[in-house]
Chain A
């Protein structure tokens, strides 16, 4: 019996499978746009996994994010409260590009003529002020039919406080027009802020038809080849959902791939007794990092697509793992700015033409090119013939000459700048949020994570770096380890000192019932269900909240003091101060519901026999930031057994990546085959 995960990336579709003995199968195949399901079937076939033996199938997909960013979703309409159809276009009025007088605001996904108003209104407390006009709904539907829209988002003012009108509207639309895709905002979130909720409903509707046809097509092909019905899709919240649920709330799948790696890092951390983890993933175009505190992946609902320093982007109010992403990957281009400073990224050479080293016409030096010249990557480890001379020439021309240095020093400089960029991102998720990196273990993966991770760990005083087996397909591995997860968030502003426990417990109960009913549809039993409880709290008068890990349902009167104490402590942790005499408010109750799935065992690797000289491939000059160029032994990862150990400097190579261990760091291999790099930290 096998568990299989497939993850669609920009260039490759990855597969990781594991059998009941923990044996891993890894496979890669080309991604096949626009029919992404083809790539999935290809990699499945190539892997040799017998479809009938698959007991659970996990999937990560870029279909949804692609449909959004390429504007290939459905012709979408919005139905909203009378007086508010322009909320979507007004947005929040912010202008990140402060001094640009000819800036352009993101264009709404629904043009004005497809935004229709319905008479109805509820107050901020959820009381009905104006009854729902079914006549207006009929008129709107008639109009939208004529306009041949394919999907409709519904979002009313204050629906987070009372969802009745939205629900009834959707019912009525389905009566009048069964074929159209329709989505009420409350299906995704019951958090306040009408623009963000409207945007979320609209974007969800926009991708519903795409998601349905993709999931149905893939599902059909899986069925045809004999794969069983236990099929899950990775969501942005770090958990999975069923294929069926994903068709209703595809917006929850928007960050499908990247979060699986973060989730995998949390699971790996737990397995090796390190619940505090910094997940560090360096791919071709970006570096991503995320902090896992006591085994908990952090989730936020302030997520945007296409938000940059210059653009406000589009908000999606769905739970997404909190990842900081910067434009610094292997393919990131090194360039000189106007003032003569060296920069790396965010522009990337991508897969085509790619780094100069690929010999596919790339002329701009990238981080990968620098790593090659710096001896951290080996030309022999590339799939193709590498012209070192061409790489040196590009480095000299584009970076060396302006800086007045040779190719070697240009490579050093690029690596130092890239490391500095990544270092700032890692600080952003740790030091700047009140965490001491010394308390964390870094899990480094993706093609570039193992190459840069140990150096950065040394800079940041992180004691330990783990380079997992299958580091380059780690996201797919993370999916295999995942549970079903649903987040339920309800906004209700209450003075915490005065809130009645009865009312709070009733809200938790309603959320738990909703979770149970969703789990019922997904075939998850009550025994498999686990809940965690988060209260978003703030001091009265503040706007932003902090997430307080709360006691389990039901809350008792004596829990009040405990929750308050946890709130002060959390506030102090993030913002360096607390205000003990200031009253606090609850803003949201956030229930996280896990449907636990069985986890495969992991296979252990054989013990190292004798010293590791058998794995030595060569010795070459390698550049280390802060130590300069050193003669460095290069080892083959496959030749290292459990218990193998060696002192840096050294490099461990494997087909898709290389782990660069600095002087003063010690490498060991654990029983699962993970490379462990440790630094003595003061």
Chain B
């Protein structure tokens, strides 16, 4: 009986499904208990299970940006200590940007080896954005950092739990260096307890099916991932595509040049970033991860967004960056805003491949996370509060579809905005407006989706506002003849009526009572010739006030009655284009 089971592929599949279920369980358990809005609303964390070699088996993702970062983190711990020195119940903490899938230091990783009957059988790992990890600014990541030491405490695979016992001196040191130790303590235990759940569940699977069956199902999972990815790669168009672009700003006013050459062959998908700028003084550097993760995101979207993420799927993938470049910086470069580089990488590869994969990739989107950090004291309760949140914006249109409105950028994912009603309770602000930014940009046969407007009215004095809105200098790109979208910006309207210039980046700007900051995000790029958009659709666009009557005429060549929105006719240009 047992002999038969060990070779039965259905049994392996059942165990494989159970491994995925375990991964889901540890993912959701963590969000439920977290004390950080960036975790429970933004879902800025990931968790995963790897085999004894550290190969990723399954990953629960809240955001795309953490894709494939669990595995290098595990390997870094193994390299540092050696497998023979890991013990059941150990947990290691790692946020070093320059080792093991490092991002910025706010993302705190934890790794736990899992043993069954004395044998190392798997690893569980997770990584979550902590509200604060020390450093020069509340929330730790900031737009004007110039080196690692300003950005908080760095853990390079430090042992935090030894055989099930928290190493108190380590926690003691952490606690003394953080602004919100209570919150971080909650997140730390949430992460540890979710790893322990993974350990328990994998133990149960081994108990039920035997360690060999569990190991066999791990092999099968990775082999199947690779099989499907390679098969789909064979079906892709082959060739080389190049693209280059400038990132707005390194935090000190300097644009950063990025370039990529994507080559697809029968058995490889290579993204080569050679020629991109050297590392910069500001904090948009990355320790290799931005490029590696960014390419994985686009790869997933063209190879099959529905595929389960594991190291088998990524077998055909290769990413090349030069050491010392902004995409593979040397210690101790500042990396607070590494994620902006990552998303520029995604956008760059996306733009290079958009004409090649029109079914999977449309026109450009708002691109930036449009991060807001605001801190101060609540006007009624007097407590310190901290807003760390991304901002929604417009997505590009694609073949057959208008762009989506008010969505987080590609680097986010199952990310939720903070409801106005919660924000007003929790933070020292009031929201006067949260609406669509209907500037009518992104005209096309398929129209770019609208960005958003959100305002924060400061309800107290001496609050500080930090933000990084990329895609502020050059607008979102249109595709296949569609027009460009718009840019992201924010603007201060102070209580005395002074209105600031629109801007894309600011660090710790003081806001007093009744000063307002207005956040405005880009409309996505259009797809296809606007003159081909059916007039009745243009009429509804105008009736819904996504575009104006004047834009209907100028961009789409459709004349509308301003009262009834009835189609009155077409412009000469459009009639000509239609050959009438």
The distance from the CB of B566 to the nearest CB of chain A, in whole angstroms, is: 14
Interface residues of B in 520-548 (CB under 8 A from A): 543-546
* B residues near A83, Cβ cutoff 8 Å: 431-435
The distance from the CB of B425 to the nearest CB of chain A, in whole angstroms, is: 5
The distance from the CB of B231 to the nearest CB of chain A, in whole angstroms, is: 7
Interface residues of B in 191-244 (CB under 8 A from A): 193, 196-197, 224-225, 227-228, 231
How many residues of chain B get a CB closer than 8 Å to chain A's CBs? 80
In angstroms, Cα B64 to Cα A582, docked, is 33
In angstroms, Cα B433 to Cα A523, docked, is 45
Binds B, one of A379-387, A414-422, A502-510, A591-599: A414-422
A174 at the binding interface (Cβ < 8 Å): no
Partner of A101, one of B61, B182, B350, B430: B350
The distance from the CB of A91 to the nearest CB of chain B, in whole angstroms, is: 7
Do the beta carbons of A102 and B186 come within 8 Å of each other?
no
Partner of B546, one of A104, A112, A576: A112
In angstroms, Cα B13 to Cα A512, docked, is 52
Do the beta carbons of A158 and B435 come within 8 Å of each other?
no
Lowest 5 CB-CB distances: which A-B pairs, in order?
A: A339-B224, A541-B35, A83-B433, A99-B305, A99-B300
The distance from the CB of A627 to the nearest CB of chain B, in whole angstroms, is: 9
Do the beta carbons of A90 and B406 come within 8 Å of each other?
yes
* B residues near A542, Cβ cutoff 8 Å: 33-35, 40, 186
User: Would you list 5 pairs from A and B whose C-beta atoms are within 8 A, ordered by A residue?
Assistant: A90-B406, A93-B417, A416-B11, A420-B14, A493-B425
In angstroms, Cα B13 to Cα A413, docked, is 10
Binds B, one of A189-197, A228-236, A670-678: A189-197
The distance from the CB of A610 to the nearest CB of chain B, in whole angstroms, is: 37
Q: A85-B435, A576-B197 are in contact. Are A98 and B408 (CB under 8 A)?
A: no
* A residues near B434, Cβ cutoff 8 Å: 83-84, 86-87, 90
Q: Taking A86-B434, A101-B362 as given, write out 4 further A-B residue pairs in contact, using a Cβ cutoff of 8 Å, ordered by the A residue number.
A: A101-B361, A113-B545, A416-B11, A420-B14
B268 at the binding interface (Cβ < 8 Å): no
Do the beta carbons of B544 and A95 come within 8 Å of each other?
no
Partner of B64, one of A98, A338, A432, A493: A98
Binds A, one of B250-258, B269-277, B397-405, B500-508: B397-405
Partner of A95, one of B16, B18, B412, B435: B412
Partner of A195, one of B11, B186, B419: B419
B568 at the binding interface (Cβ < 8 Å): no
* B residues near A681, Cβ cutoff 8 Å: none
Do the beta carbons of B301 and A100 come within 8 Å of each other?
yes
A358 at the binding interface (Cβ < 8 Å): no
A160 at the binding interface (Cβ < 8 Å): yes
In angstroms, Cα B410 to Cα A504, docked, is 44
B297, B404, B434: which has the most chain A beta carbons within 10 Å?
A: B434
The distance from the CB of B442 to the nearest CB of chain A, in whole angstroms, is: 15
In angstroms, Cα B431 to Cα A341, docked, is 51
A560 at the binding interface (Cβ < 8 Å): no
In angstroms, Cα B413 to Cα A574, docked, is 26
Range of interface residues on chain A? 35 or more
Partner of A94, one of B17, B193, B416: B416
A96 at the binding interface (Cβ < 8 Å): yes
The distance from the CB of A389 to the nearest CB of chain B, in whole angstroms, is: 24
Do the beta carbons of B359 and A102 come within 8 Å of each other?
yes
In angstroms, Cα B545 to Cα A341, docked, is 49
Partner of B421, one of A90, A193, A341, A417: A193
Do the beta carbons of A89 and B406 come within 8 Å of each other?
yes
In the complex, residue of chain A having the shortest beta-carbon distance to the beta carbon of B25: A432
Q: A413-B10, A542-B35 are in contact. Are A192 and B421 (CB under 8 A)?
A: yes
* A residues near B37, Cβ cutoff 8 Å: 543
Do the beta carbons of B408 and A416 come within 8 Å of each other?
no
Do the beta carbons of B10 and A416 come within 8 Å of each other?
yes
A177 at the binding interface (Cβ < 8 Å): no
Do the beta carbons of B29 and A403 come within 8 Å of each other?
no
A105 at the binding interface (Cβ < 8 Å): yes
Do the beta carbons of B546 and A194 come within 8 Å of each other?
no
A109 at the binding interface (Cβ < 8 Å): no
In the complex, residue of chain A having the shortest beta-carbon distance to the beta carbon of B545: A112
B372 at the binding interface (Cβ < 8 Å): no
Chain A 177-204 per-residue mask, 1 if CB under 8 angstroms from chain B, else 0: 0000000000000001111100000000
Interface residues of B in 530-580 (CB under 8 A from A): 543-546
In the complex, residue of chain A having the shortest beta-carbon distance to the beta carbon of B196: A576
The distance from the CB of B127 to the nearest CB of chain A, in whole angstroms, is: 16
B10, B183, B415: which has the most chain A beta carbons within 10 Å?
A: B10
The distance from the CB of A673 to the nearest CB of chain B, in whole angstroms, is: 35
Chain A 92-124 per-residue mask, 1 if CB under 8 angstroms from chain B, else 0: 111111111111110000011100000000011
Chain B 1-20 per-residue mask, 1 if CB under 8 angstroms from chain A, else 0: 00000000111011011100
In the complex, residue of chain B having the shortest beta-carbon distance to the beta carbon of A161: B421
Partner of A421, one of B17, B61, B360, B408: B17
Do the beta carbons of A582 and B186 come within 8 Å of each other?
yes
* B residues near A421, Cβ cutoff 8 Å: 17
The distance from the CB of A342 to the nearest CB of chain B, in whole angstroms, is: 6
* A residues near B452, Cβ cutoff 8 Å: 86, 90
Q: A residues within 8 Å of B by Cβ?
A: 83-87, 89-105, 111-113, 123-125, 157-158, 160, 192-196, 310, 338-342, 403, 413, 416-417, 420-421, 424, 427-428, 432, 493, 539, 541-544, 574-577, 579, 582
B173 at the binding interface (Cβ < 8 Å): no
Do the beta carbons of A579 and B305 come within 8 Å of each other?
no
B343 at the binding interface (Cβ < 8 Å): no
In angstroms, Cα B415 to Cα A84, docked, is 21
In angstroms, Cα B185 to Cα A542, docked, is 12
B414 at the binding interface (Cβ < 8 Å): yes
In angstroms, Cα B422 to Cα A195, docked, is 11
Do the beta carbons of B33 and A575 come within 8 Å of each other?
yes
B436 at the binding interface (Cβ < 8 Å): yes
Do the beta carbons of A341 and B13 come within 8 Å of each other?
yes
B32 at the binding interface (Cβ < 8 Å): yes
Do the beta carbons of A339 and B228 come within 8 Å of each other?
yes
* B residues near A195, Cβ cutoff 8 Å: 419
Do the beta carbons of B9 and A341 come within 8 Å of each other?
yes
Do the beta carbons of B419 and A194 come within 8 Å of each other?
yes
The distance from the CB of A105 to the nearest CB of chain B, in whole angstroms, is: 5
Q: A90-B406, A93-B417, A342-B13 are in contact. Are A541 and B182 (CB under 8 A)?
A: yes
In the complex, residue of chain B having the shortest beta-carbon distance to the beta carbon of A85: B435
The distance from the CB of A285 to the nearest CB of chain B, in whole angstroms, is: 20
The distance from the CB of B424 to the nearest CB of chain A, in whole angstroms, is: 4
Do the beta carbons of A102 and B398 come within 8 Å of each other?
yes
Do the beta carbons of B407 and A101 come within 8 Å of each other?
no
B493 at the binding interface (Cβ < 8 Å): no
The distance from the CB of A99 to the nearest CB of chain B, in whole angstroms, is: 4
In angstroms, Cα B422 to Cα A160, docked, is 12
* A residues near B546, Cβ cutoff 8 Å: 112
In the complex, residue of chain B having the shortest beta-carbon distance to the beta carbon of A424: B21
* A residues near B480, Cβ cutoff 8 Å: none
B516 at the binding interface (Cβ < 8 Å): no
Do the beta carbons of B405 and A90 come within 8 Å of each other?
yes
In angstroms, Cα B423 to Cα A194, docked, is 11
* B residues near A543, Cβ cutoff 8 Å: 34, 37, 40-41
Q: A102-B360, A103-B404 are in contact. Are A340 and B224 (CB under 8 A)?
A: yes
In angstroms, Cα B297 to Cα A158, docked, is 38
B392 at the binding interface (Cβ < 8 Å): yes
B105 at the binding interface (Cβ < 8 Å): no
The distance from the CB of A54 to the nearest CB of chain B, in whole angstroms, is: 46
The distance from the CB of B319 to the nearest CB of chain A, in whole angstroms, is: 17
In the complex, residue of chain A having the shortest beta-carbon distance to the beta carbon of B425: A124
In angstroms, Cα B21 to Cα A574, docked, is 17
In the complex, residue of chain A having the shortest beta-carbon distance to the beta carbon of B41: A543
The distance from the CB of B414 to the nearest CB of chain A, in whole angstroms, is: 5
The distance from the CB of B470 to the nearest CB of chain A, in whole angstroms, is: 17
Do the beta carbons of A93 and B420 come within 8 Å of each other?
no
Do the beta carbons of B32 and A575 come within 8 Å of each other?
yes
The distance from the CB of B170 to the nearest CB of chain A, in whole angstroms, is: 19
Partner of A160, one of B186, B408, B421: B421
Do the beta carbons of A99 and B297 come within 8 Å of each other?
yes
